[in-house]
Structure 1
Amino acid sequence: MESRMTLSSDVLQYHRRMLVSAAVRAGYAHTCRYEEPAARREIARMTGVVMSVCGPGRGPNTPTMLVEALHHPLAQVAPELFAGSGMGDLTVLDDGELSDDVYAEGCEDIVELLSGGVDPARRWLPTWAWMHGELVETEAFQLINEGATEAEYTAHRYFVVKQPAGGERQLAELFSQAVGMRKSVRYLPIPADQVFRGRCWWPCPVCQWPMHIDGTEVRCRFSLHNAVYFVRADSARGRPLLQRRDGGVPRQPAAQSFQREGAQRSVCVETAVWRHIVVSGVSEIYLFERLEALKEQGVEVELWPGKDRYDLLVRVPATGWEMRIDVKDYGCAVSLADKLRRKPPAARTIVIPDYRGQAQRDELAELLPNLEVLLVSEVLKAVKAQVRKAARR
């Protein structure tokens, strides 16, 4: 009986991920239906996927109905699939455009809808709309993984997180100095919706990736970076200035000149790499650098040991204490717990950013009783306690 219940739960979770994936693909297709000839066909195909997941007589059964449904939380499409899951709050379209929720939360539940590699939409769909996170990482780093030392891998990944955008020649020079290799993750021209009037772009103060521009609003699409501004004026040098939305928004970044062509053309990592490597990497490096600062007090820390077998190995040799850590930054605790049950982590301690909050920490601890779940601040507190313990010896 128990195995049947587990199987039923697994099927339910997979169907939920299928519906999220189909909704995201249909939403993207809707936004480019006038430019891409195959977009309307894709919406129709995804309508079929949604109908199959929802079952007879349930959910939208025409492309028009699906597009309308995507302007509302997905829980309204299939309430039973999203019971107990925060993904039900995902709204794919906002006034006909992709919502920031798609980038912040929807990308987490993407699965491959068509097996065997026969997916005609891959010719024009962005990779983040059909490729799950592990596949993004594999593809991004496969150029250097074979033959690279562990130190080279770590240096490469660190560089990508710290330098996700900039001038092409400058990035190449910095990469050569920092990593010492020729092969790099692919950088592409900064998309038009991240450039202000063809003149400049702004890096998010948290992740450094070019922020989205909507008229005079400038914001990072990862909403928890809390970076939302408004263009308020032009400076004497001709570069526009930003106005913070409120006092809680980070200090406004300086405008970066946009170069369309030439050796210094403005480039950035593609969206899938930003979302699945840079965003998560920001939290991993934040914790690493704060632990590294305790080195003189007897703390040893390794970043991405074994070519990212897990994220951090922390030791305090004086007390014999160590912790293996996987940093996870997911909007939906249920989705994250499901992922970790399907693919158990090499580390036994799961750490989430403080902005995910105590509530998510407690929910994950309940969902994953065999793993330790901590906030970043709790890890730092635990390490400092070990430092004090060592000092008393």
Structure 2
Amino acid sequence: MAVKERADARVRRDQALTACCMAAAAEGDALLSSARRAALLMDCLAVLRAAHPPERAAQIGMGEFRRGLHGPLGSLLPLASETADRFDALHLFDAHGLVRDAVQDLCREHLVPQVALERHWSWARVRAEQEERRLYEILRRLSPEEYRRARALLGQHPAGPVRELRRAWDRLWMRFDFFEAVSDWPWCQLDGWWYPCPQCHWPMRVAQHATTVEVRCEAHAPRGVHYRRTLNPAGAGPSELVGTGKKATPVQGLPASTEHLALARPVWRYGVLPTLMELHLRNEVADLPHVTVEMWPGQLRPDEYDLHITVAVPGRRTQHFRVDAKAWESVVALGDALMERQPPPYPLTIVLPDHQDRERHYLATRLRGRRITVTTLTRLVKRIKTASGAPQ
């Protein structure tokens, strides 16, 4: 397949994926009027049809479209190019019929700007990479000391009462305009309260089913951060949550008021989560013999790499690990974003969350020939321990 044909196939597939995600969001919105939902689905169906060859487009009706949204997306998406991805098997709805948390992130990461879609979905106008760049543009203007402090604050204080946030961020408070009122986020509220994740401290999502209410962190649920609500007498304050996962430590509900703020979702996804991975990596290897760790070298472009780990065992060749942690929902979109950059002039290690272990092979293949190694957090810790001679 020629280069242009591969590029065109990727664009058409991205258009179809975006249309399906937006349609799923409309299909799963119980507050949307029937007329509004029908109009949105028709627009999304038109985009989906346009991504297919004419003979296939004519076969996709509204019934097939809506049924396809609730199953693996392979029946709706046009054929992939020579590079396979995981979207044929992707489900947009969970087992309870609710739209998966990651759909919004997929829309951001795979957004193809299109007036017909932007007219209805304002949140789709900003690509994940654009939001990430806006954050880094602010970070670049800081001194090395301020930059390191800001990165630490992203991981330590991404949400909370406004007074505590202002006190923690101090002089940097007016430099960041990424905080939003939790009162504007109904998806994280339970009877007027919100619950911070014990790992990332950002609001957890509330999912109400017929007989139960689940509260889970979108990023850390795979690691066991999920709960269910117990019944509380009316007026007794926030509902008590019972942990249903191995990492579900006790959490206290906070008022979902205008006095409680949280970093905007893109900053949490592409700023807070990578920062937490980097801090975890530092804590795991900093005390190993022959290992030194430099966090967030402020003199560099902040989007190049964030840890420089050196392993200098006497009598052996010194090893350098320049690490950039990534927490994108889609490794396909991440691969596209990394391919748009100039290849690094040094070996670079991209670190993914552990739950994306199976997808590291795809990203490594996509980035072949660019001096980039792709691994996961746990795998990199083991590799550094082995290099330093420390016991596993």
Q: Distance in 2 between matches of 1:285 and 1:351?
A: 13
The amino acid across from 2:10 in the alignment is Q
In structure 2, what is the equivalent of residue 168 of structure 1? 162
In structure 1, what is the equivalent of residue 19 of structure 2? 22
In structure 1, what is the equivalent of residue 321 of structure 2? 323
SS at match of 2:54: coil
Q: Distance in 2 between matches of 1:36 and 1:112?
A: 26
In structure 2, what is the equivalent of residue 43 of structure 1? 41
SS at match of 2:351: strand
Q: Deviations over 1:255-281 (max 9, x none)?
A: 2321524xxx12212223222332333
- Change in 2 beyond 3 A, CA 1:345/1:209: farther
User: 1:292–1:300: 8 Å Cα contact kept in structure 2?
Assistant: yes
Q: Distance in 1 between matches of 2:278 and 2:230?
A: 34
Q: Distance in 1 between matches of 2:163 and 2:65?
A: 45
SS at match of 1:313: strand
The amino acid across from 1:341 in the alignment is M
- Per the TM alignment, residue 238 of structure 1 is displaced from its structure 2 partner at its CA by 4.1
User: 1:19–1:50: 8 Å Cα contact kept in structure 2?
Assistant: yes
Q: Deviations over 1:290-330 (max 9, x none)?
A: 33444x85513222643232232222456533121222345
Q: Distance in 1 between matches of 2:202 and 2:174?
A: 22
Please give the root-mean-square deviation of Cα atoms over the aligned residues, in Å: 3.5
1:1-393 correspondence runs (5 A): 4-32=1-29, 34=32, 40-58=38-56, 61=60, 65-78=64-77, 80-81=79-80, 84-93=84-93, 97-103=98-104, 106-107=106-107, 109-114=109-114, 119-121=118-120, 125-126=122-123, 129-142=124-137, 144-145=138-139, 147-176=141-170, 180=172, 182-190=174-182, 191-198=185-192, 200-215=193-208, 216-222=213-219, 223-234=221-232, 238-245=237-244, 248-261=245-258, 265-294=259-288, 297-303=290-296, 305-316=300-311, 320-330=318-328, 333-344=331-342, 346=344, 348-357=348-357, 359-370=358-369, 371-388=372-389
The amino acid across from 2:229 in the alignment is V
- Change in 2 beyond 3 A, CA 1:163/1:314: same
- Change in 2 beyond 3 A, CA 1:186/1:339: closer
- Per the TM alignment, residue 368 of structure 1 is displaced from its structure 2 partner at its CA by 3.7
Q: Distance in 1 between matches of 2:108 and 2:222?
A: 15
- Change in 2 beyond 3 A, CA 1:148/1:334: closer
User: 1:47–1:66: 8 Å Cα contact kept in structure 2?
Assistant: yes
The amino acid across from 1:287 in the alignment is L
- Per the TM alignment, residue 219 of structure 1 is displaced from its structure 2 partner at its CA by 1.5
- Change in 2 beyond 3 A, CA 1:341/1:158: same
SS at match of 1:85: coil
Aligned length: 369
Q: Deviations over 1:128-172 (max 9, x none)?
A: x44322111123454x34632233233223312332211111111
- Change in 2 beyond 3 A, CA 1:272/1:225: farther
- Change in 2 beyond 3 A, CA 1:303/1:40: farther
Q: Distance in 2 between matches of 1:180 and 1:369?
A: 39
- Per the TM alignment, residue 237 of structure 1 is displaced from its structure 2 partner at its CA by 6.8
- Per the TM alignment, residue 109 of structure 1 is displaced from its structure 2 partner at its CA by 3.8
Q: Deviations over 1:158-207 (max 9, x none)?
A: 3123322111111111111xx64522242112212211111x22122332
SS at match of 2:71: coil
- Change in 2 beyond 3 A, CA 1:316/1:93: closer
SS at match of 2:277: helix
Q: Deviations over 1:53-86 (max 9, x none)?
A: 1222425755565344322221111262388321
Gaps of 5+ in 2: none
- Change in 2 beyond 3 A, CA 1:306/1:36: farther
User: 1:110–1:130: 8 Å Cα contact kept in structure 2?
Assistant: no
User: 2:290–2:312: 8 Å Cα contact kept in structure 1?
Assistant: no
- Change in 2 beyond 3 A, CA 1:180/1:188: closer
> What TM-score results when the alignment is normalised by the length of structure 1?
0.79
SS at match of 1:44: helix
The amino acid across from 1:182 in the alignment is M
Gaps of 5+ in 1: none
Q: Distance in 2 between matches of 1:121 and 1:167?
A: 33
- Per the TM alignment, residue 352 of structure 1 is displaced from its structure 2 partner at its CA by 2.3
User: 1:140–1:185: 8 Å Cα contact kept in structure 2?
Assistant: no
